[in-house]
Structure 1
């Protein structure tokens, strides 16, 4: 049992590292709950629950995106620990939310401490090498500090999983109640912010008919959400190929050499 837990902890650490390294691969969004939660499900042998928890937490953290110097809760750690808790204890999917939000906030505080001290020190080192024109060492410091930061966060998640949920709950119990209440309020606002961000992109003069069509299909024809999504995919493909054809026709017609 101990060896199995150790192997699972290593795999959970690897899942966390893949999630945290998303920015090194062009912001692939591997850190989102919809990605890491199913991976946790694979590690723990319950992919179905992993997908369900990932979808639930994705809705909760939909508005959790970094804007400027403001960092949102650490969604990767929250999703991994929340999913692990549900799978290992057999709790309902909603229980992941109660654990994911405070864990994500706690790990964010730890990450901010790293940025204040470790990454700041690395920045000063890079400045020294830049002053003497040694760009190779500047690049080396940036890579080591950046990857090292993600590796440390991954180890924190792996150790938290190894220690178990009771230890995590004891740590969370040390946090003052007013902070927990504030996090609960923030967690309740995040889905609304996420929906508002999506609505701002969707509700335009050009796209509003498609939004209305999807609503009518779901409300009056009883088409499931997946069916509406497939219909949207077909419409998007038709519009894309139509515009592509029009662009090709314009290129062929435009024979003006001047």
Structure 2
């Protein structure tokens, strides 16, 4: 059961996140941040991060260039996390049965939000002609209201009215085993799709060595940390407690603190490679786009 204060907090966050994404852009409107906030509000941070990270990878290479609308994975993460925790739905199943359909459906509210803000945009144009600076500021702030409602209203209605309906849909999906298995598999493939979209628009032909190096380093570190973690688990399971060394219970047992591959290590390696690439690019002469690199579909550095 979702409490009223949880509905209120998630609705307010949904209203804020789209305004943040369009203005100051602190990453509070990203799916992984939405999963974090929703998990914190619902009392299950792990589920929120799993769902948010899955949707973040799904839209990793998707943008809104030229004012185009895209799926609202952020609102999808909020609703999927809320219903996953409240209804006890598996996170992977929540991504495919709730998050993805909601994200696709909210494309229409995104378009509605874009259309309604044109009213305030025209009022701003009129205020500019009159040098009415207060009018410019006022209409700019009023333009945030349709954007906020385009996310907050659907999220509020879904959280307030959709609990039983969502549970009915999920129970039906669970009863059809092949459908549940297929949706779960699709949910696992979505992050790969996000990476594929991102790689399509990156200049890989010129930087294939960085991609190969990153893949190789990640693979090697994963193997190393996996072996260390397995060693720690084996030692913890076979080591006998040593008596007389701890003051409370008189026993000292081995505590397995060997964890898997930390993402901070991968992030540091990625930052080093990015800095190296940036320094190298400063020594490269800018070349005008040719027919070959335009037709390839890649976005070159000098085209950004």
TM-score after normalising by structure 1: 0.71
Give matches, 1:9-28, under 5 Å.
Answer: 9-23=7-21, 26-28=24-26
Closer, same or farther in 2 for the Cα pair 1:48/1:239, shift >3 Å?
A: closer
Q: What is the alpha-carbon distance in structure 2 between the residues aligned to residue 196 and residue 212 of structure 1?
A: 21
Shift of 1:43: 1.2
2:45 aligned to 40, 43, 47, which one? 47
Tell me if the contact between 1:82 and 1:99 (Cα under 8 Å) persists in the aligned partners.
Answer: yes
- Asked if residue 111 in structure 1 is aligned to residue 137 in structure 2, the reply is no
2:218 aligned to 214, 218, 225, which one? 214
Closer, same or farther in 2 for the Cα pair 1:231/1:7, shift >3 Å?
A: closer
2:55 aligned to 48, 54, 57, which one? 57
Closer, same or farther in 2 for the Cα pair 1:239/1:231, shift >3 Å?
A: same
Higher helix share: 1
Q: What is the alpha-carbon distance in structure 1 between the residues aligned to residue 119 and residue 104 of structure 2?
A: 24
Shift of 1:149: 2.0
Equivalence for 2:266: 232
CA RMSD of aligned residues (A): 3.6
Closer, same or farther in 2 for the Cα pair 1:31/1:240, shift >3 Å?
A: closer
1:126 aligned to 116, 124, 129, which one? 124
Shift of 1:24: 5.4
- Secondary structure, aligned partner of 1:62: coil
Give unpaired runs (5+ residues) of structure 1. Answer: 171-183, 243-258
- Which structure has the greater CA radius of gyration? 2
Q: What is the alpha-carbon distance in structure 2 between the residues aligned to residue 218 and residue 135 of structure 1?
A: 57
Closer, same or farther in 2 for the Cα pair 1:201/1:212, shift >3 Å?
A: farther
Equivalence for 1:251: none
Tell me if the contact between 1:33 and 1:75 (Cα under 8 Å) persists in the aligned partners.
Answer: yes
Equivalence for 1:143: 141
1:157 aligned to 133, 146, 155, which one? 155
Tell me if the contact between 2:54 and 2:191 (Cα under 8 Å) persists in the aligned partners.
Answer: no
Give matches, 1:170-189, under 5 Å.
Answer: none
- Asked if residue 192 in structure 1 is aligned to residue 173 in structure 2, the reply is no
- Secondary structure, aligned partner of 1:227: coil
- Secondary structure, aligned partner of 2:3: helix
Tell me if the contact between 1:5 and 1:162 (Cα under 8 Å) persists in the aligned partners.
Answer: no
- Secondary structure, aligned partner of 2:68: coil
**CA offsets, 1:111-163, max 9 Å, x none?**
212322x2121122122222222132122201211244214522331232111
Closer, same or farther in 2 for the Cα pair 1:151/1:239, shift >3 Å?
A: same
Closer, same or farther in 2 for the Cα pair 1:109/1:236, shift >3 Å?
A: closer
Shift of 1:41: 1.4
Tell me if the contact between 1:20 and 1:150 (Cα under 8 Å) persists in the aligned partners.
Answer: yes
Tell me if the contact between 1:214 and 1:228 (Cα under 8 Å) persists in the aligned partners.
Answer: no
TM-score after normalising by structure 2: 0.62
